[in-house]
C-alpha cells in the first residue's frame, strides 16, 4: 500500500530549522484522513451522516529530526477496533527510510446527539471497511 507523503514546509520549522514537534501530530491527522479515504470511508461523508470520530488519545515518540523540504512517508495501520473505538498506529520515515517518529491515536465514534455509535449495528458498511483494512494495511 502506498504510504502517505508529506513534504516539510518552512513554516513548520522552528528557529533552529528543525520541524516543530506539534506538526507530527498534524501529519498523523492528515494520514488518518487519507487512510479512511483509501478504505472507502470519506470523512466528509461520515460527517454528513452525523458521524464524528474525535481523538480520545494521541502519542508520538520522536526518533530523528526533520527539516524544511524533507519528505516524510507515513504508514498507517489499524491496531485495534471494537466497533466503538479504534486505535491507529503511525510510522513516519524520511527518504533514507530512517524512522523519524512513531505514534498512535485512539478515536471513538459518536452521532449528532453526542452518544456513542456502535458501528457494526448502526453503520455496517463502515464497520466492514475498517475490519477489512486490518489485513490490507499491515506494515
> pLDDT digit string (tens) for 8-47?
999 999 999 999 999 999 999 999 999 999 998 889 999 9
* Residue 34 annotated to the active site: no
Tell me how far apart the alpha carbons of residues 31 and 37 are, in angstroms, rounded to a whole number: 10
- How far is the C-alpha of 60 from the C-alpha of 29, rounded, in Å? 12
* Exposure string for 70-80, b = 16+ CB within 10 A, e = fewer: bebbbbbbbee
Q: Given this model, what pLDDT does residue 82 score?
A: 92
The stretches of 39-123 forming alpha helices (DSSP H) are: 43-48, 119-122
Domains of the chain: 4-136 (3.10.129.10)
pTM of the model: 0.90
The residue annotated as part of the active site, out of 14, 70, 80, 122, is 14
Amino acid at each position: 500500500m502506498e504510504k502517505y507523503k508529506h513534504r516539510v514546509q518552512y513554516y513548520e520549522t522552528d528557529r533552529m530549522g528543525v520541524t516543530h514537534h506539534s506538526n507530527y501530530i498534524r501529519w498523523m491527522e492528515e494520514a488518518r484522513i487519507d487512510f479512511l479515504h483509501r478504505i472507502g470511508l470519506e470523512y466528509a461523508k461520515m460527517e454528513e451522516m452525523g458521524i464524528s470520530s474525535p481523538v480520545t488519545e494521541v502519542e508520538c515518540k520522536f526518533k530523528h529530526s526533520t527539516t524544511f523540504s524533507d519528505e516524510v512517508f507515513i504508514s498507517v495501520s489499524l491496531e485495534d477496533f471494537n466497533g466503538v473505538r479504534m486505535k491507529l498506529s503511525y510510522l513516519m520515515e524520511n527518504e533514507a527510510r530512517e524512522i523519524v517518529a512513531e505514534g498512535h491515536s485512539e478515536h471513538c465514534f459518536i452521532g449528532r446527539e453526542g452518544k456513542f455509535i456502535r458501528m457494526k449495528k448502526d453503520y455496517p458498511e463502515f464497520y466492514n471497511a475498517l475490519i477489512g483494512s486490518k489485513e490490507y494495511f499491515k506494515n
